[in-house]
Every structure is written in C-alpha cells, then in structure tokens.
Chain A
Amino acid sequence: MCSLYRNEKYGLITNKTETLKPMKKILIVDDEPNIVMSLEYTFKKKNFDVFIARDGGEALQIAEDIIPDVVLLDIMMPNVDGYETLRQIKNNEKLKNTKVVFLSAKNKAADIEKGLKLGADKYLTKPFSVKKLVSEINELIN
C-alpha cells in the first residue's frame, strides 16, 4: 500500500536492518527529486519507513492516510506551499502527534519565526547537514 506513493526512481533503495521495534514513519515533502533521493536513502538506512510527496496537496493526502511520526517540509513549493500544509496538519485532529520540521532555503529570521509560530517543531535551513538533520529528528521523536 505504502509503496504506491514511492517514487519509482528510488526502487534501488531497500531496508537492510530489521528490528522488532515498530518503524517510525517519515514523510518527506519536497519538489526537488535529487534532494529527496538523498533524504530517502539516509532515513531508510536509519530504519525509517519513508514516504515521499512532491507538494503540499500530495503531502496532506498521504499524511492523512499513514499518520506519519514526522514530516520534513519544504516551504517553497508549487500549488500548496509549506506554510499552508503545516496549517492544515495542525488543524487535523488525526495528526496531532505528528512532528513537523521545516527544511527550507528561506533563512531570514522573519521566515524562521513565522514557521515556528505556525507550530513547526524545528526549522532547518538549506543547505543542511544530513548528520545533523538525522540527530535532530531522532531527538524530536524519542
């Protein structure tokens, strides 16, 4: 079911480690396929169940469906942008435990403040360090 949302390009990537712990679900929302690919690889390796969306609209549909533990959200996207997506996630009772991390090239103080005010749990600016991102996410969900 989940594979429905997976980009065929990422078929190469498979989960190697299997544990008894239930896998954390992460939804990556970005319209840049190359960035998505790196993120997907990284989180799969860290034993996440990874889902991909290319814009806000798609992200909301998937989130509603899978109830992710964490959403990685770009801000500048076509159609529904990151802010709007966050607003809708926050308004959705089903997603009240979902953490949201903004991952954006917008690095002005005002942008960051706006993101946090809307209820984002973290705001990371692009370009980011993959390691740091992973540790921040882990911190957030454990």
Chain B
Amino acid sequence: MNNYLLISIIVAYLACLFLIAFWAEKNSKSKWVNNPYIYVLSLAVYCSAWTYYGSVGIASQSGISFLTIYLGPVISLPLWILVMRKIIRISKQHKISSIADFISLRYGNNRFLGALVTMICVFAIVPYISLQLKAISETFEIITDETSYVSTSVLDDSTFYIAVLLAVFVAFFGTQATDASQRRKGIMTTVAVESILKLTFFLIIGIYVTFFLFDGTTDIYQKASQMDNFKEITSFNGLEAGFNWLFTIMLSFFAIFLLPRQFHVAVVENDRERYLKKAIWVFPLYLLLFNVFVIFIAWGGNLTLTGDVNQDYYTLLLPLQNNNVVLAMLVFLGGFSAVISMVVVSTLALSTMVSNNLIIPYGFLDKFIKGNPEKNANYIKNIRRISIFSLIIIAYFFYVNFSYELSLFSIGLISFAVIAQLAPSFFIGLFWNRGSAKAAKIGMIIGVLVVSYTLILPFIVNVLTDSTSFVAYGLFGIALLKPYALFGIDFLSPEAHAFFWSMLLNTFSFLTFSLLSKGNYRERNYAEMFINSSNYTNLQEGAFVWKGEAYVSDIRNVLTRFLGEERTERALNLFNLKYKVSKEEEMADARLINFSEKLLTGSIGSASARILIGSVAKEQPVSLLEVLKILEESKETIATNKVLKEKSEELTRLTEQLKTANSELLKQDRLKDEFLDTVAHELKTPITSIKAASEVLTDGNDMPQGLRNQFLDNIVTDADRLARLIHNILDLEKLSGGREQLEIQHNQINNTIKKAVDGIYQMAHNKGVHVIHQNGYEIKARYDEDRMLQVLTNLLSNALKFTEPDTGIITIVAQEKKNAIQVAVEDNGKGVPKEDVLYVFDKFYQSKHQNIKKPMGSGLGLAISRKIIESHQGKIWVDKKYIKGARFVFTIPK
C-alpha cells in the first residue's frame, strides 16, 4: 500500500479520536460518556499491541501459554468487589491520583516512597511504551511493504511523528484540569471506542482466517495436528511448565492492579462503585472474545506462512498473502488503536506520577510558595506536559536504539515483573497495619535489583558485549549466581524465574523489616485509615491525627496560591459548614490540616501537599499509643452520635405520627360536631312544625273542619318524618361504628332486585313511572339480603323521586364481572349535577341546585347505602359519563 495513503488514513483516524475526545469533554454529562460500559471498555486498555500481535506470536511458538496473561486478570476479577472497591474508596477519600500516591500515602505520606514507586513505574513502563511504538513501526512497514524498518534518521521516521501526535493528544486532553484526581472523560471515551474497534477488527481477522482461509476450526486443527511440533505447543510439559504457568498467572494477576494505566482506568477514572459489578463479568467476556481466535490464527499462520517471518504479525501477513489489503488495513488500525490507548493512558498516568511524586516535591515547591494561583496552575500543567513529551520521546529513543531484538511478549513480561515489585507493599499494606515505609522501600529496591540481575542485566550484557558467558556461567563464573538459574533453580522460564526470586526476597524483606521497625505515628495513622477504611468513611477528616499549631490564615494563604481566592473561600466555607467550625476560628485543627492537604493532593500530589501545609504549621510529634487512642475515641464518638441521631430521628417520626393522629382526631371531632348540628337542625324542623300546628289547633276553636284536618294531617306526617329520621340516624351510627353484624349468605341478586322492585311498584305505578328489571340469568353472590334490599330500595326510590311523572323510566340491571357483581340503577330524570357527584353520598348533603321543594327524605339514604356497600367490601358511585339521567352503580365481591 502506498506510504502516503496510509499516513493520511492514520492522520484521519487520529483526527477522529481528537473529535471524539473533544465531544466527550464538551458533553461530559451525557449518558454516552457516563456509563458502566465506558468504564469496563476502558479497562480493556490492558490489551495492548502485545495482546493484539504478541499473543499470536507466542501461540505459534509455544502454544497456549499466551493465555496466562489473561487468566491472571480473570481470576482476580471476582476479588475486585472486595479489594478494588476498597482501593477505590480509599482513593476517592484521599483524592489519590496515581498508584505512587496510593502507596506513599499508605506509608505515612512518604515523599521518598512516592518517588521510588514513580521511578520503578517509569523504569518498567517506558520500554513497554517503546515496544508499542515498535509495533506501529513494524506493522507500518509490513503494510507499506518497505524493506528496512529502521529509518536512517528520526525525521524520516513516520513513527516519530505518530509518537509526537500522541504526546500532543495526551498533553491536550490529560491536563485540562490541574487536579489530577479528576476524571478525563475525553480520553476515557476514546479509549473505550478504541477497545471496541480493536476487538472488532481482531474478531474479523480471526473469522477470516478460520472460516475463509480454512474450513473452520476443525479443519485448522486437523491440519495443524500433522505438523512436527504440534504436541509440544499444545500440551503442558509437566510440573516445571506448571510452575511457569503459575508464576506468569500471578504476574498478570498483580499487573491488572498495579500497572499505572490499569490503576488509572480502574481507580482514578472510576465514577461509581457499582460499575465494578458490571466489570466483573463484562471484562472477562471481553478478554475471552479477544483470545478465541488467537490459537487458530497462530496455527493458520504456521501452516501457510513459511520461511523467515515474524510470527507476531501473522494477523497482517495472512490477509496480505491473500491480497486482501483492506482487511490488512483494518487489522493495522486495530493494532494501532491498541497502541494508542496503551500509550495515551500510560503516559497520562506516568506523567501525573512524575510531576506529583518526583518533580514537584523535589524541587518546585519553593517556586510555588512564591507564585500566584494562575502561574502555579500553569506551572503544574506545564510540568505535566513536559513529562508527557519526555516520556514519549525517551520511549521512542529506547525503541530506536535497543528493542529490536526482543519480542513484544518478553518486554511485556519484563515490565510486568518490575511492576510486580510494588505488590507486597501494596496488597499486604491494604490489610496489615504493621507494614512500614522503611520495609516497603527496602522490599521494593531489593525486588527491582533482583529483577534487574536476573532479567535485565543478561539482556543488556548480551546487547552490549554480544557474549553469553554471563548467562552461561554466572557472575564471576559462580554457578549459583547464573542469572537465569539462581541457586540452581534452572527449570523456570527467565521471567518466571525472575518473578519467583524477586517476589520471594521482596516479600521476605518487607515482612521482616515491618516487624523490626515500627514506623512513626504518621505511618500508623494512615495505615489505620487505609486498613479500616470502611470504619473511617464517616469520620473522614476526623480520622486524621495531628497535633500542633497552625493559623487558619496561613493555611488559607497556601490554598489560595493553588486554588485561587474564590475556590479557597468556597472550600473553607464548606469545611466550616460541614464540621460546624466558626469562621472566626484562628487556630487550625487536625481536620482542617487534613482537609487542606486533600485539597492540594489532586494538584500537586500528597507528598507535596503535606510539605506545603507542613511549612505553615508547627507540628508536634504524637506517640503511637496516642494515635490509636485518638482514633478509638473518634470512632466511639461517631458511634454515639449515630445512636443519638437514630433516637432523634425516631422521636421526630413519633412526633410526626402523633401530629397526624391528633389532626385526624380533631377532624373526626369537627365532623361529629357538624353531624350533630345537622341532626339537630333536621330534628327541629318537624318538631317546630308539630309544635306550631298544635298551638294553632289549640287556639283555633273557630277553625273550619277542613283546615283542622289539614293541620292534623301535617302533625302526623311530621311525626312520621321524625321517627324515620331517628331510625336512619341510629342505623347509620350502627353501620359506622361497625356494631352491625351482617348476615352474609349465598343469594341470587336478581331475586333480591325483584323484591325491591315489587316493593316500590305501587308508588311507581301511581306516578306513572316505568320500572324495568332485566331479569336475566342467575347471578350468585354473598351478601346480607335485608341490607341489600335497603340499598336497592333506596336507589330505586331516589330514582323515582327525580323522574318526571308519566314519562319516567327506571332501569335496573345486574351484571357479573370478573370477581364481583355489579348493579346499576338508571333513570331518565334530570341527573346528578357534576359538582355534586362526589358528595351525594355524604350525610345530609343537599344539592345547591335543588330549588324545588325538598323531596321527602331523611338526607341519609345514600350515606346509609354507601355504608352498607362498604361493609360488603364493595364500592358505590355515580356514573359521570351517563348523561340521559342519573346512573348509580355499585359492585360487591362475589
């Protein structure tokens, strides 16, 4: 393929990534940027060019041992819920922005330890980055079909320009905020997109090789099994190989936690703890998919490509051999994606460490103390930017000068072995409070020295002197010091061997020195905060033990230099509010010291933050015992406060309940009053009438007989009315008080309706109103028949009351519903006004629109009917949709 075409495709591709990153930064609140899948996919930064190309290379030479690199992470993932969650919590609590910060803070915010971790990481990762650049360069050469891949000058080498572009990308999107503990959504989104791309393209080539170049997996297997070394590359080779497997799996197990880029994506960029739940199954699935076709591509390559080819690049060579340039191009872009994401995240993580744990604490603090906030922010950003460029440039030159002897796989493993030296102080330090800073430093240094001797030194000697005597006979010819077979252990692969010895000695010295040296109170304080992190989540700043003298104004000054007036003011206000500290307070306490250190940590790293705050505070040493005592006390205070808070909440709740009960009682009381008022009024009316008529009669000796009879009639009617009223009131009270025992029996509703209709038949006939009862099939239900009759009669006589004489029609229908029966009484009267629909069932409710003479009735009929239906667990209502008249409906369960 044409050189320039490929370069323009690469440039276009990078431009796309810039756009995606830019878009994600702009839309940092978007759902597309904030979801667990972005998090999980960014974890796949683990799959670098090593995975993309190197696995195939290893598979073609030594079989399935490439899997070890993925088995470690897969095994570790269930532990994430426990371990990674703890790490994330601690990191968020302390605003940790890198693994160097994490380890140095655990050991009492130790400046030297932070720097040491940083150096180890740089030492391990820079060659690894250069290997990635090597992969770009080599694949570029394969695709463009150039013969020599080492360019004569730097400026001729396209890889150099790609490296510079990547540095620009990281520098631009990685240093948007001074606070390194903040998330870089732009970069993470591109990493996630690249993870999808590299997997897709790798699957495409896998499918292509397996199903298009060959006839499926069985076909490849059968053909491959006839090759000479087939048995060797598909079997396990006994116990010794078993140890190799074990150690390589452990190596990758550690790497998934400790690689700076993994720590960055898994911890620093974690938005929500619950994303972990998604990660523990999606990420293994991702790794599985990535490895499905590796072995088939390797076999396929072994079968078809003969002669002197680099097995790492089977994925490119196979499509090219078949003239499928487009496919090769896709594979190239997939590998390119893998490289970019690895390089970008690694340099981002390393540059933060270099600036916050190495450069700033060891040289720039004085400058910061003098500078103003804007200048300081720029300084910090520039330090990071320069770190980014330096790291990539160093990696580039390392690649140009050194790395072409080694495969992706071996440099990768060397890098893992070096990084693994952080493991004892990292993992043991998470769970054992005795681990001390001194022990951590000694363990790491010994570990790195052992790896250097057993793995790196032989390589350097080999490159520089071209002699193998060092490897063959050991240092000074002492056989026990043979770098690949220390003390006679000669059955392990060099990497497993180096891992075994370094880890053994590292762990041993860490444990020994931890037990020998106690460490100071500061170490113990942080150890407690890390190990019992869950206990101290509530304590927060309170878990930090500090004694001494410091002025709030001094601390404010330091903060202002980095955060600016406004942010400092806001942060301190927040602090005062949270801990209920007065603004006038002049002296700073431990909480403010810790709070301020955390504020600065994101920008300049924990070590520098402590030094800066320490420069304005006179700290007094605290004894170890005191630290523990203070911590214990704060824990107890928290516990007591918690109990008090619970009690007070309970009291509030009870008060609330009492209030509701009281207002309910008051309401009931008022309703009762109103009811009594109305009852009194209703009772007084007929009494008044009876009394007046009686007086008139007593006085009216001269009254004509007809009129006298009329008055006597009135007295009788009103006495009846009075009796009916009293009866209804008592009835209603009986139903409301629940004193009424219903005699519920199996009945047939249409029979009951018929009885009710018969009851009012004469009255209806007299008024000329038709009553239609559609007596259909049997509908059985359980109810108290007398009471039901009362309801039906009431509804029917209401209907009768409100229909016109001679034209009135009343229809009553019973229907069977799913679990209930429904009865509807319809009439063609004037209907129930809309505003009355909800109130007609209230006691003594009378419509405002009722301007005709009061119909005879107690005003309690519908209220009683409702009570009866409700005591049958039923419902009664007015059908609002019915417009031809009134339609009363009730249902009761069968």
Contacts and interface: CB of A to CB of B under 8 A. Distances in A.
A42 B696 contact: yes
Contacts of A79: 848, 851
A105 B707 contact: no
Nearest to A128: B688
Interface in B841-892: 846-848, 850-851, 853-854
Interface in A91-135: 105-106, 126-131
B851 A39 contact: no
B72 to A, nearest CB: 87
A67 interface: no
A90 interface: no
A131 B718 CA distance: 21
B684 A41 contact: no
Interface size bracket, B side: 20 to 34
Interface string B329-347: 0000000000000000000
A55 B689 contact: no
A28 B693 CA distance: 16
A96 to B, nearest CB: 28
What DSSP secondary structure best describes chain B's contact surface?
Answer: helix
A31 B853 CA distance: 7
B696 A126 contact: no
B765 interface: no
A34 B853 contact: no
Contacts of A45: 700
Contact of A38 (B685, B692, B706, B846): B692
Interface in B824-848: 846-848
A35 interface: yes
B681 interface: yes
Contacts of A31: 853-854
B520 to A, nearest CB: 82
B420 to A, nearest CB: 90
B689 A38 contact: yes
B225 interface: no
Nearest to A33: B853
A39 B699 CA distance: 13
Contacts of A62: none
Nearest to A111: B677
B691 interface: yes
Nearest to A37: B714
A12 B692 contact: no
Contacts of B853: 31, 33, 54
B688 A126 contact: yes
B324 interface: no
B715 to A, nearest CB: 8
A64 interface: no
A42 B718 CA distance: 19
A130 B680 contact: no
B717 A129 contact: no
Given A12-B706, A129-B695, A37 B711 contact: yes
B717 A13 contact: no
A124 B541 CA distance: 78
A53 to B, nearest CB: 12
B692 A35 contact: yes
Interface in A11-47: 12-13, 31-35, 37-39, 41-42, 45
B714 A34 contact: yes
Interface string B255-292: 00000000000000000000000000000000000000
A47 to B, nearest CB: 14
Interface in B593-639: none
B846 A35 contact: no
A38 B696 CA distance: 7
Nearest to B697: A38
Interface string B696-730: 10011000101100110010011000000000000
A10 B695 CA distance: 18
B696 A41 contact: yes
A23 B853 CA distance: 29
B116 interface: no
Contact of B681 (A37, A57, A105): A105
Interface in B669-695: 680-681, 684-685, 687-689, 691-693, 695
Contact of B710 (A37, A130, A131): A37
A128 B695 CA distance: 10
Contacts of B717: 34
Given A38-B711, A79-B848, A105 B688 contact: yes
Given A31-B853, A34-B718, A78-B848, A41 B689 contact: no
A42 B694 CA distance: 12
Given A38-B693, A131-B695, A12 B710 contact: yes
Nearest to A14: B704
A130 B714 contact: no
Contacts of B854: 31-32, 78
Contacts of A126: 684-685, 687-688
Nearest to A133: B692
Contacts of B706: 12
A105 B684 contact: yes
A90 B707 CA distance: 36
A79 B853 CA distance: 12
B502 to A, nearest CB: 96
Contact of B691 (A32, A54, A127): A127
B684 A127 contact: yes
Given A78-B846, A106-B681, A127-B684, A35 B707 contact: no
Contact of A76 (B681, B710, B850, B851): B681
A34 B691 contact: no
B454 to A, nearest CB: 103
A29 B534 CA distance: 81
B543 to A, nearest CB: 66
Interface string A63-101: 000000000000010110000000000000000000000
Contacts of A39: 692
A39 B696 CA distance: 9
Contacts of A57: 851
A105 B696 contact: no
Nearest to A132: B695
Given A37-B693, A41-B707, 19 more contacts: A32-B685, A32-B688, A35-B688, A38-B692, A38-B693, A38-B696, A38-B711, A41-B696, A41-B700, A42-B692, A78-B848, A79-B848, A105-B680, A127-B684, A127-B692, A128-B691, A130-B692, A130-B695, A130-B696
Interface of B: 680-681, 684-685, 687-689, 691-693, 695-696, 699-700, 704, 706-707, 710-711, 714, 717-718, 846-848, 850-851, 853-854
15 contacts: A32-B685, A32-B689, A37-B714, A38-B689, A38-B692, A38-B696, A38-B711, A39-B692, A41-B696, A45-B700, A127-B688, A130-B692, A130-B695, A130-B696, A131-B695
Interface of A: 12-13, 31-35, 37-39, 41-42, 45, 54-55, 57, 76, 78-79, 105-106, 126-131
